[in-house]
Amino acid sequence: MPVTDLTPAFMATIVCPDSKRKEVFFDRRAKGLALEVRISGGKTYFLRYTDVRGKTRYVKLASAGDVTLPQARALCERMRNKLAMGIDPLEEKSTKKQVPTFETFAWDRYMPFSQANKRSWKTDETLIRTHLVPAFGKKHLDEITTEDVLNMQQAGLKAGAAPGSVNRRLILLRYMFNTAWRDWKIAGVTENPTLGVRLLKENNKKERYVRADEVARLYDEVCKSQNTMLKHIVAFLLLTGVRRNEALHATWQDVDLIRGMWRIPDTKSGYARHVPLNDGALAILHRMKGVSRSQYIFGNPKTGKPYVHIYQAWDTARKKAGLPDVRLHDLRHTFASLLINNGRSIYEVQKLLGHTQIKTTQRYAHLTQETLLDASNIGTASIAAFLGMGSHSHTIEGRLC
């Protein structure tokens, strides 16, 4: 293989000998720069280098018709700089080819994992199909940037989506990239473009607590419902604070009436949890012994299976009670509020509700104005006595400045 000074004149006149398919010339000025001249007339610049295993390798730089000789030397120098930093250009190119598009990754890798491991996989599927694939589908994972993620956020808001809805898309996208990058170590994915992108401030969280007088009106209408099981379900939700589906799928085999304990095998967190049954909840269960006709405590009397939904019966009852804004989930809020207002600690409420994080419980823990006033009076009683402030705001002359 001849070594020569590659010049513009040489480049313009050199041809491949008729006896060969190609000829390779090496440049004296740029180490490793090679020019391949083919019998067809084509000319291509390559870099010859030795990899970490001692093998001689060639990596294409560019067609001689696309770059000038100085540009080819500059490309050669940049490629050699990469080699000096331990980056093999051929390995880098091979890795790039292995990086899947977001759409391929989502459907072929992530969704099978989600279906096998997440109870919320249907939510993942919907968010991916309706929002993430339209935004990133054709891009390869290593092409998605932080700017792309920020653009997705802004596009969602401009389309009228609530901040909470946009946040759910970001949370899923962040989880998908963490899975690809940290857990599965997919080739070419070296960072998570969602890192540093903050969740939007949410102001659409609805917290509703049912007052005692409202409970009375609501339960009165529930008892009149054509769905004869509704009154038992609503009372049980109020007395235990469990989630709707946890109650609807409760089975007799998971309840220990003697010990007053209920094991919920399938929870939102994915782990089983144990709920202590208070006297009111036990009374309902003993009553259900004479009502239930299947393994499900609150099963549909017609089918013996859990109710798919009880919305229509619930909606009718709440509207008749004049409480159209009260949701079934608000009974869970109310349970937590009652405990807090009766002096139970936030940690006790957390355990009873089955929350893994205390901040989730704090959303449910609503203190009434009366409770706050009582707490304020008790906490400041000694100071009030010192200042001469009686229980009826009577001031002892001369005590206050």
CA distances 17 to 20, 24, 34, Å, are 6, 11, 17
pLDDT value, residue 106: 96
How far, in Å, CA of 154 to CA of 342, rounded?
44
Which has the closest alpha carbon to 231: 293, 286, 310? 310
Cβ neighbors of 39 (< 8 A, separation 6 or more) are 16, 18, 20, 21, 22
pLDDT value, residue 349: 86
Q: What is the pLDDT of residues 151-202, one digit of tens each?
A: 999 999 999 998 989 999 999 999 999 999 999 998 888 899 999 899 998 7
Kindly give the parts of the chain with pLDDT less than 50. Answer: 392-401
Q: What angle do CA 264, 266, 272 make, to 5 degrees?
A: 55
Q: What is the pLDDT of residues 281-296, one digit of tens each?
A: 999 999 999 888 899 9
Q: pTM for the full model?
A: 0.56
Angle between helices 279-288 and 230-240 (to 10 degrees): 160
